[in-house]
Amino acid sequence: MNLQERVTGTFVERFGRAPEVVAKAPGRVNLLGAHSDYNEGLVLPAAIDRAAWVAAARNNSDVVRVWALDFAQEGTFALDEVAALRGVAVEPTWLRYPMGMAWAVQEAGELPFGMDVVLTSDVPVGAGVSSSAAVEMAFLLAWEQIAGFTLPNLTRAQLGQRAENEYLNVGSGMMDQFASVAGRANHLVLLDCRTLDHELVPLPEKTAVLLVDSGVRRQLVVVDYNSRPEQCREAVALLQPHLPGIQSLRDVSWADFENYSHHLPMVLRRRVRHAIGERERVLAGAAALRQGKVAAFGQLIKASQLSSRDNYEVSIPELDLLAAVAWRQPGCYGSRFGGGGFGGFMQVLVDLTAVDPVAQAMSAEFETAFGRTPRTFVCQIADGASVVSGNR
């Protein structure tokens, strides 16, 4: 039974009627552009073939009632109460993502309806592939279908970012949500996080993304993630007297860094060095892929991991080992951590013929070093979010 059949069948069993809409929204990988979105930089994410699915129907009330199939758990909230619960810890914790989207939709002037929902997902949680953004976008598409409004992809992503920033207090950008709704099979999405210009960049079809679990779960709201945007803002403030035109680290060039980095504490110098380098790596990576040079693109992925480890300091020993093992394997183009770092999965761009031997080598050395066998997933680059069935 596939996920569409499972979520639809469970809805009928639980609520005694057919759903009005079934929608799905994928997770994403981000092959280049680590911690670039909130610096108004450039990113190269892609949607993957693992998604959050919702089956939903209005229930003629102000209440959203969600059955989370994967947890065998129900959560409910009233639409007129979500604003008062902003920033408040709720149980079950997964319910905060649809609550955040309900709040953002209302803040945007749209009217979400009370509905009954069944939610399921095969996006790995805590893996750095944006399981939360997948849930947010799946709920948004369901509300659009039921309430009768339609939003552009950019607006969808911006609402997801607002939910994360202002409702969940996570200082992320809009990359995750945009990749989820705007992705296309066998393409990366080159997104300018300042201008919101975007372009689809082809990725060779005979490639896959191997996800290897570090076994370290990280919650972005409780680890050191939020300190990184704060440090970048601090660096901008310290550089502005010398570079009055800058608004973010997006505006700082290598020449500026050479001339003025001595005004920064050493930690902030490392953060700025990463931000500038990542901007240049994304531009070079997109150019390489347009020319079909996937090996050159892979070397830029490796450079991103090294900078994230040494300059941005968001890697951990488990991820460092997985990256080093992957780089030694034939058929591996490049490897770097997924998501915000501090744990989660290593994402490895590989030739399709090399998936199994690369995975086996990484698993064997990881088990020797850490005494446990990592989970692995193979992903294809897929289309973005969609309404699979609905009455509109």
Q: Residue 189 forms beta bridges with which residues?
A: 200
- What b/e readout covers 292-303, taking b as 16+ CB neighbours within 10 angstroms? eebebbbbbbbb
- What b/e readout covers 88-109, taking b as 16+ CB neighbours within 10 angstroms? eeeeeebbbbbbbbbbbbeeee
Query: Rounded distance, CA 31 to CA 46, Å?
Result: 8
Q: Which of 62, 70, 80, 176 is catalytic?
A: 176
Determine how β-strand 207-213 pairs with β-strand 376-379.
antiparallel
Please say if 192 is a catalytic residue.
Answer: no
Coil, strand or helix at 234: helix
- What b/e readout covers 319-351, taking b as 16+ CB neighbours within 10 angstroms? bbbbbebbbebebbbbbbbbbbbbbbbbbbbbb
**Residues 202, 187 contacting (CB under 8 angstroms):** yes
Q: Residue 120 forms beta bridges with which residues?
A: 53
Task: Return the sign of the alpha-carbon dihedral for residues 328, 331, 334, 335.
Answer: negative
**Which residue type is seen at 47?**
A
The full DSSP string for 349-381 is EEEGGGHHHHHHHHHHHHHHHHSSPPPEEEE-B
**Residues 323, 346 contacting (CB under 8 angstroms):** yes
Give the catalytic positions in this structure. Answer: 176
